[in-house]
Amino acid sequence: MEGTTGLAVSALVNIMLSLLCIAASWWVLLNVRLDLFLRDPRNVQAKALRAVLAIVLGHGLATFLIDYSGWSRMIGLLFG
């Protein structure tokens, strides 16, 4: 792809991957019993904590996957 089009597609893929990883983290966190650590698990603050944890974990997972993809492409240059 050409320069700016390739960057735009890459940015779109990274955004979609980040949102997908955040959603997956949210889904996983639904099975974690945070009520053991919180005074009032039905409180707005507890729900905000779950959202923040999902964003942090999802961003970390997405960053790893994006980096891994880039590293895989660079290894291809070694043999090409």
How far is Cα of residue 76 from the mean position of the Cα atoms in its chain?
25
What is the per-residue pLDDT for 1? 57
Domain range for 31:
3-79
pLDDT (tens digit, 0 to 9) for every residue of the chain, 80 residues total?
577 898 899 999 999 999 999 999 999 999 999 888 888 888 999 999 999 999 999 999 999 999 999 999 899 888 86
Which residue's entry shows tokens 């735009």?
A: 8
| pLDDT at residue 30, rounded to an integer | 93
This prediction has a pTM of 0.86
Number of domains in the chain: 1
Task: For 2-44, give the DSSP string.
Answer: -HHHHHHHHHHHHHHHHHHHHHHHHHHHTTS-GGGT-S-TTSH
Q: Give the whole-number percent of the chain exceeding pLDDT 90.
A: 70
